Amino acid sequence: MKKKYVRKLFRHKNPYDIKGTNQLFTDALRENAIHHKNHSTEYKEILDNFACDLSQIKTIKDIKDIPFIPMVYFKRHDLNSMPFDKMAIKATSSGTSSGLKSKVGMGYTDLWRGFKMIWRLFRYHKFWSLKRVNYFIFGYEPTKHTDVVIMKSANGFTKVAPAKKRYYAIRWDDEVNKYKVDLDYMKQGLIKASKQRFPIRTLGFPAYTYFLLKEMKEEDIKLTMPKGSLLTIGGGWKQFYAEQVDKQAFYDIVEDVLGIKEDNIVEFFGAVEHPVVFPDCKYHHLHVPIYSRVLIRDPETFEPLKKGEIGLVNLLSPLNQATPLTSVMTDDLGILHEGCECGLEAPWLEIIGRVGITDIKTCAQGAQALMDE
Ligand SMILES: [Zn+2]
């Protein structure tokens, strides 16, 4: 079956034209759900259990009726529409205390679609550059020892602008046969880079970035990074809430130590179970691109709430054909806002925190445990 609506959606020129794509998005989402229904008996059972008739998904108001699947479900079940060995990438989300990992994958067409999405979004935000840059990746050095999705996206990101050099904070140590955090290596690298003419780009776990900057501040190190330097933090909010780091405090320390202003700090929202990327605007608002819709639901009745009301964050996207990520429920509480001074009409998502308290700690504890070693 040809995926004509999905293809059309990912060809749409303006990545924030939410109003102009509501019908196209609905058609694409239905098409995606039908695809999964036809390729996964487990997904079909879920639809049947909820008596969901996909032919009734006709307008944007109906997308709430596609059963949502809690993210944790993907950690306990093999819910896939493609055999694992046929997938282009098998993403595993960063570990939780329980040691469970999401079994989520992407096919080759999914990746290609994802690439077009990133191309459009990055062009909109003017992230593409032909200038060579020094990358500082506060994450895993890619080796054969890991397939953590963060590492993959980090590696992909370093292709956005050509790399002069890549510094990784978590490197494989052959002697002890495991990953080790080496923030001193990053510190020396930053000092070196501040004396060169190539801009820097950073990416990765904000917890590490924050630990290092705090240490440098205590040592009275004040650098001025070359013009055009950009600090990006991906999937940052999870660690931020865990670490209780106030965002403004983070922006301040970045300017203090690296001389990079707040305008040049870009945050991304995204998850293994929702591979659409939301880059933030200059007001640090995470506007929803056309490849997604976000529903905020009442935590008890699961009924969709109005803009401005706080509830559970439900993420919907037709991007993925390998795994039924059509409608996934996070355990995050959030608010969908309307209107922003940046001029974008697309609503923006504010993450308030998480429902479960145990999971909040795992990411930061994981980071702390690696640092302590
Ligand atoms: Zn904005």
Tens-level pLDDT at each residue, the chain (373 residues) = 567 999 999 999 999 999 999 999 999 999 999 999 999 999 999 999 999 999 999 999 999 999 999 988 887 888 899 987 787 776 655 544 445 566 778 787 887 888 788 888 888 887 767 788 898 987 777 776 655 554 555 556 666 677 889 898 888 888 888 778 888 999 999 999 999 999 998 877 667 788 889 899 999 999 999 998 988 876 544 444 444 557 788 889 999 999 999 888 887 787 778 888 888 898 889 999 999 999 999 988 999 999 999 999 999 999 999 999 999 998 888 999 999 999 999 999 988 876 654 443 444 444 455 555 5
Between helix 357-372 and helix 236-243 the angle, nearest 10°, is 90
Q: Which of 236, 191, 242 is nearest to 212 (CA)?
A: 191
CATH number for the domain harbouring residue 189: 3.40.50
- Give me ligand 1 centre to Cα 161, in Å: 24
Q: Are residues 228 and 296 in the same domain?
A: no
Query: Could you give the 3-state DSSP secondary structure of residue 365?
Result: helix
CATH number for the domain harbouring residue 41: 2.30.38.10
Residue 257 inside a domain? The answer is: yes
Residue 299 inside a domain? The answer is: yes
- Give me ligand 1 centre to Cα 283, in Å: 6
Tokens at residue 317, please?
């996207």
Q: Are residues 50 and 129 in the same domain?
A: no
The span from the CA of 102 to the CA of 71, in Å, is: 8
Total-model pTM: 0.77
Q: Cα–chain-centroid distance for residue 270?
A: 2
| Beta-carbon contacts of residue 229 (< 8 Å; ≥ 6 apart) | 133, 199, 200, 201, 258, 260, 264
- Give me ligand 1 centre to Cα 202, in Å: 22
Q: Are residues 219 and 234 in the same domain?
A: yes
Q: What is the pLDDT of residue 249?
A: 83
Q: Are residues 146 and 212 in the same domain?
A: yes
Q: Are residues 227 and 301 in the same domain?
A: no
The span from the CA of 223 to the CA of 240, in Å, is: 24
Q: Are residues 123 and 252 in the same domain?
A: yes
Q: Which residues pair with 203 in a beta bridge?
A: 137
Q: What is the pLDDT of residue 217?
A: 95
Q: Are residues 216 and 304 in the same domain?
A: no
Query: Could you give the 3-state DSSP secondary structure of residue 340?
Result: coil
- Give me ligand 1 centre to Cα 62, in Å: 27
The span from the CA of 29 to the CA of 316, in Å, is: 8
Q: Are residues 173 and 200 in the same domain?
A: yes
Q: Whole domain around residue 146: which residue ranges?
A: 113-284+358-372
Between helix 206-218 and helix 247-258 the angle, nearest 10°, is 50
What's the number of domains the chain is made of? 2
Q: What is the pLDDT of residue 355?
A: 65
Q: Are residues 274 and 225 in the same domain?
A: yes
- Give me ligand 1 centre to Cα 280, in Å: 7
- Give me ligand 1 centre to Cα 286, in Å: 7
Residue 338 inside a domain? The answer is: yes
Q: Are residues 145 and 272 in the same domain?
A: yes
Q: Cα–chain-centroid distance for residue 86?
A: 24
Q: Are residues 134 and 38 in the same domain?
A: no
The span from the CA of 115 to the CA of 111, in Å, is: 6
Q: What is the pLDDT of residue 324?
A: 95
- Give me ligand 1 centre to Cα 281, in Å: 5
The span from the CA of 39 to the CA of 119, in Å, is: 29
- Give me ligand 1 centre to Cα 86, in Å: 39
Q: What is the pLDDT of residue 152?
A: 56
- Give me ligand 1 centre to Cα 97, in Å: 35
What is the amino acid identity at position 45? E
- Give me ligand 1 centre to Cα 233, in Å: 17
Q: What is the pLDDT of residue 179?
A: 77
Q: What is the pLDDT of residue 121?
A: 87
